[in-house]
Structure 1
Amino acid sequence: MLFREATGPYARDPHSVAGMTDTSSHADHDDDQSEILDLDAEVLAEHIASITSWLPVRTDPRHIVDLGCGTGAGTLALLQRFPNAHVTAVDSSTSHLHRLRHKAGAAGLADRVRTVQADLDGAWPELGTPELVWASASMHHMADPDRTLRQVHETLAPGGLFAVVELAGFPRFLPEDAPADRPGLEERCHAAVDRHHAEHLPHRGADWGAKLAAAGFTVEGERTVTVNLGPPHTEAVGRYAVSTLTRLRGGVAKELAAEDLTALDRLIDTDGPHSIVRRDDLTVRTERSVWAARRI
């Protein structure tokens, strides 16, 4: 794994295609999200650990809040990084929180986790006075992220740290000239998703450093992590690629030419000879940006 880092002043579904499909039930949607969130945590565990290790905490926090915790990738990484801390994990999905509690119990960490079901665009839940707040791939989903930033500022203990992690978008898995019959397929899928994100997720790609400063924080660091895994790829990476491309297909099907859709279907058909899991050039490439901001 490669990390490119720049330093200086400055759950949810990690691969949301918001507004692009509404054909599945809420339960099916949560199940799909849980699968991809768990795979994301497994495949990118090293990168998550690198971010938690980088956080410029002054003293190890005893109380941490994970906003938009999903199925618990950040929660569990933070518990491992700070062995004396307790985490309050907040998400709007009861099924995600149930999955998080199961994972925490399996890891022997259940007594260090409290879950809170809440819509952070609504009434703010009682979260105590944490020394660290973590928000990974959740801030751009907020209807009014500036309000959320101000609320976090009020919630944090004086001197506390707020870590904002944001994604570059769907990870990429194929070379630019793949597949052979439809070269550039992945880029065309990403372009279609980006057009919809511009409409439905207007805060994606926001200047979070400026927003944090406007909310009263002092931004102490910024880090960009570049992930490049494989080849050869693990079995988990293969499942991650299939799950991600399947989710991508659900969002872009109406946007693609018939030939592109056929090629995409061949890639996600795990029983077929052209499946992405059979490719020896499968990689995971993505970027995530982190801002560390302090309440003075």
Structure 2
Amino acid sequence: MISEATGIVAATAGRPGPVRSVVDLGAGTGTGTVALARRFPDAVVTAVDLSTEMLDAVRRRADEAGLSERVRTVRADIGSDGLPVDAVDVVWASAMLHEVPDPRAALATLRSALAPGGVLAVVEMDAPPRLLPDDLGALESRLRDVTDAASPAYHPDWTPTLVDSGFTSVTAHPLTVDATYDPDSPGGAYAALELTRLVREGREALSDEDRRAFDTILSDRGSAASSLPRRLHGVDTVHVRSHRTLWTGLAPEQP
């Protein structure tokens, strides 16, 4: 999915000359950061996140991919700190805009930070992804039941908001993911992070038995100090299935 999505963004970035500056907003563990650095080989990618632990993970992943010279990390909150760079060619905001208290103010900040004709890419999941193999499907379904009840509308349709915020050529692109990963791969790390988030969201509504089952699955920490799992414990294969939407929009050209 991420290769398809960054390919769409690259095709949308039709400004003369190569893309030089990319921001990954809400970078998480760095899957998008690395994909963007690979897609735009002339760009410096700035990964922005509130979590120092996440930014540490981004730096590790960039180093492992041989991309550390083109990846920088910044701890910032788009709502209160703004964006720490300007004249940006591409801003990538995956699964984070719906978490911002004032999306319209955030979009105004992003539009100002983009170079004229720069691309904003907003990615949202249409529903929580399925992450576990079929033999754990019933356990995951019970988790989905409680999280869906808590958040029936997973994200809004951002098209009118992007248009009202001054972006042009706004387009929605449907994306489908159906892939299997080794638990130790980047896809496996994503699944561990996403399942952690979902369990935290639905934990109080789960049965004691299901809470214990998820605690076991999420027990494999990278280090004693880490609050995040390194991989899914006792899971041989991660099966990610999800539907997402990618919105692209252009910052207005200067008159």
Q: TM-score range by the shorter chain?
A: 0.7 to 0.9
Contact 2:196 2:218 survives alignment (8 Å): no
Query: Residue 294 of structure 1 aligns with which residue?
Result: 250
Query: Residue 46 of structure 2 aligns with which residue?
Result: 88
Task: Indicate the RMSD between aligned Cα atoms, in angstroms.
Answer: 3.2
CA shift for structure 1 position 52: 0.6
Summarize the Cα distance change of 1:194–1:290 in structure 2 as closer, same or farther, 3 Å threshold.
same
The superposition leaves residues 87-138 of structure 1 with CA deviations (integer Å, 9 ceiling, x where unpaired) of 1221111222222223223333222222221111113143121111111111
- The equivalences for 1:3-42 within 5 A come to none
The superposition leaves residues 144-185 of structure 1 with CA deviations (integer Å, 9 ceiling, x where unpaired) of 011101111111111111000112343214688x66xxx854
Question: Secondary structure of 1:162's partner?
Answer: strand
CA shift for structure 1 position 290: 0.3
TM-score normalised to structure 1 length:
0.67
Which of 52, 55, 62 lines up with 1:97 in the alignment?
55
Q: Does 1:268 align with 2:209?
A: no
Summarize the Cα distance change of 1:190–1:219 in structure 2 as closer, same or farther, 3 Å threshold.
farther
Residue 254 of structure 1 aligns with an amino acid whose one-letter code is E
Q: Does 1:186 align with 2:140?
A: yes
Q: Does 1:75 align with 2:37?
A: no
Q: Does 1:117 align with 2:75?
A: yes
User: Unpaired runs of 5+ in structure 2?
Assistant: 220-232
Structure richer in strand, relative to its length: 2
Contact 2:33 2:45 survives alignment (8 Å): yes
Distance 1:209 1:191 in 2: 28
Which of 111, 128, 134 lines up with 1:170 in the alignment?
128
Counting aligned pairs with the same residue, the percent is 38
**Structure with more contact order per residue of length (Cα contacts < 8 Å, sep ≥ 6):** 1
Distance 1:100 1:242 in 2: 15
Q: Does 1:143 align with 2:101?
A: yes
Q: Does 1:63 align with 2:17?
A: no
Question: Secondary structure of 1:163's partner?
Answer: strand
TM-score normalised to structure 2 length:
0.77
Count matched residues. Answer: 234
User: Unpaired runs of 5+ in structure 1?
Assistant: 1-46
Summarize the Cα distance change of 1:225–1:125 in structure 2 as closer, same or farther, 3 Å threshold.
closer
